[in-house]
Amino acid sequence: MEAQQIKLEGVTASVSAACPVTFSGTVGLFTPAQGTASALGVLFVSPWGLEEMCLRKFWRVVAEGLALQGIASLRFDYPGTGDALDGSDHSAGLGLWEASVVAAADMLREMSGCRHLIVISQGLGAALAAKISGSLGDVAGMALLAPVTSGRAFLREMQIWSRMVDEGLGVPEAFRQREGVSIAGLSMPDAIAADVRKLAVGQLSSMQFSRAFVCKRADRPADAELAGHLETLGIDVQVADYAGYDDFISNPATSILPEGVRLRLLEWVTGVAAAFPTLPSTPSPRSAEAPALLGDGFRETPARFGEHGRLYGVLCEPQGPRTGATVVILGTAYDRHAGWGRSGVDMARELARAGIASLRFDGANIGDSPAVAGQPMQVLYQDCQVADVQAALDFLAKRDLGPMVVAGRCSGAYLAFRSAVADQRLSAAVVVNPFVFYWNPAVDIDGALRYVPRSLDDYRERLFQFETFRRLFSGRVDARRALGNIGRAIVRRLSQFARPLIRMLQGQRGVQAEVRRSFHTLAERKTELVVLYSENDVGFEHFVDHFGRTGRGLRRYPNAHMSVVPGADHNFTPAPARRVYTDTVIDLARRFPPGT
């Protein structure tokens, strides 16, 4: 049986991903200017934590807009974050991140030939950039979006925000991180946190730039106060409202890009750039791969692949011999390929130490991979994503890195399953908390993502928590929506006893048939399938609809196995849950050694 090729419409050379570069133990993405290049380039300096995860796509979209205006740019990861290497010595504190910003500025000048910089920064990155502006050379201007003005206040906010994230995910109390600074599975080294605590941008007596763009939040008076402080230093300041900030940085899966902010930002940057000359010539673009980063037992190469290099990812290989199939690690929703809590990076490097290569990447219109013309902006649960996986398989096949297996969580689990059905080159799949196995085209994706109902057991547990009552009466819980979700959970539970009748409902019968057909296809090919669920995950209720609460219906598919992982939240945030996931992937990959 041949692979089912998903066709892409409208792919053109203009949708190439940014050019990856490596320097100072980290990875940067350089977006060259199109047409006549300005002598001014833009350096992006990122926030930290969950905010950075939500912001990643926005940086890419802004960079693409700048390129159309003839302005090159570079974005990068701080040491120990994203795709950068992990250092064991953090004694330099925040100086580690400061040095990486300086190195990134040097790399931008080398790649673009620009002589002047504008720094675009957000959150903690804004405080960091302002503090070291004098070390970055000729900085013509600085954009400070939702700036951190007090490190002490920022760390307090992180503590509260972290608790809200843990509560929202349902992370068991025993597995919540209480020591140090952490959020969404990410931890800030103590030495860096100690230096962050000392930051006080409003008290800086000088900053080495003459123009500033401050994007302020309505409920944060300190943002406007910083703009006033900059004016007292003789800096020409433009101020804009950060409309939609909360909807933007609260959840990568449902993040809404602030289009108004993007337009104002591009207008300001191009206005500053107009005062500078264009370059008579620019350095020749790099065609070779970026040098690999070498770590403890692994070698990582950032790469572009697919038609016209439209997709971006990181190939992680063992430094010793390979012992199993190469794993395609799929991201979740709109999380960048580094993964929730950097889980994709951690898994890839641990796989390499076990002798297993992997590729983690961003699908089209996710993270650092640009959108494809003609495709819907909402790409989740769409067939076009299978084409992205097939491009990844082509990339690995050209490098003789077969056999290949795939792994993913939530929407990534759905994509892993559908890709295994569509392409027989995949020998196995590990799917974690898949919401469904087949998306009913009649169901609105955006609405489902924003208001995914919890399992009935989870609602029952939360119903008696004081915090739930407090949020309900304060208006932070949509009571009508919550009651509707509870009703749907009850209907799913009752449907176990009336499944034949439910299957007759409009649309349901077709979904059930498609799921059975897909599982039959995998069984016929002997494609190994492992399904992992966290306790009380809403996706498990959908699994029950098809196979029963004990998974009894899976018995007709000897290639498929299901397990419930105790103590795990939907994102598999706790370390023990990640351990189960990683060990499962290693075990499965080793069943298909190279050459088989």
Helices 259-273 and 50-68, axial angle in degrees (round to 10): 50
Residues 450, 253 contacting (CB under 8 angstroms): no
Residues 75, 27 contacting (CB under 8 angstroms): no
Residues 73, 109 contacting (CB under 8 angstroms): no
Residues 341, 162 contacting (CB under 8 angstroms): no
Rounded Cα distance, 6 and 383, in Å: 7
Structure tokens given for 252: 């990568």
Tens-place pLDDT, residues 409-461: 999 999 999 999 999 999 999 999 999 999 988 888 877 776 554 443 443 44
With a cut of 50, say whether residue 472 has pLDDT above it. no
Average pLDDT rounded to a whole number, residues 52-81: 97
**Rounded (5°) CA angle 293-295-297:** 125
Rounded Cα distance, 58 and 21, in Å: 20
Asked whether the whole model's pTM tops 0.75, one would answer yes
Tens-place pLDDT, residues 238-297: 999 999 999 999 888 888 999 999 999 999 999 999 999 999 887 777 667 899 999 999
What percentage of the chain exceeds 90 in pLDDT? Answer: 74
Beta strands 73-76; 139-145: pairing state? unpaired
Residues 307, 375 contacting (CB under 8 angstroms): no
Residue 441 has a pLDDT of 84
SS3 38: strand
The yes-or-no answer to whether 24-273 and 293-442+512-589 have a common fold is: yes
Instruction: Give the chain's mean pLDDT.
Output: 88
Tens-place pLDDT, residues 115-168: 999 999 999 999 999 999 999 999 999 999 999 999 999 999 999 989 888 887
Tens-place pLDDT, residues 366-420: 999 999 988 888 899 999 999 999 999 999 999 999 999 999 999 999 999 999 9
Q: What share of the chain is helix, strand, coil (3-state, %, to 5)?
A: 40, 20, 40
Residues 247, 82 contacting (CB under 8 angstroms): no
Cis upstream peptide for 302 (omega within 30°): no
SS3 277: coil
Rounded Cα distance, 516 and 445, in Å: 22
Residues 239, 214 contacting (CB under 8 angstroms): yes
Rounded Cα distance, 488 and 524, in Å: 34
Q: Any idea where the domains of the chain sit in the sequence?
A: 24-273, 293-442+512-589, 450-506
Tens-place pLDDT, residues 169-223: 778 888 788 888 999 889 999 999 999 999 999 999 999 999 999 999 999 999 9
Residues 564, 534 contacting (CB under 8 angstroms): yes
Average pLDDT rounded to a whole number, residues 556-561: 96
In degrees and rounded to multiples of 5, residue 338 shows phi and psi of -60, -25
Hey, what CATH topology would domain 24-273 get?
Rossmann fold (3.40.50)
Residues 71, 41 contacting (CB under 8 angstroms): yes
Architecture of the domain whose range is 293-442+512-589: 3-Layer(aba) Sandwich (3.40)
Residues 25, 96 contacting (CB under 8 angstroms): no
| Structure-model confidence comparison of residues 508 and 36, the more confident one | 36
Per residue in 487-497, is it b (16+ CB within 10 Å) or e — as a string? eebeebeebee
The CA R_g of the chain, rounded to the nearest whole Å, is 24
With a cut of 90, say whether residue 503 has pLDDT above it. no
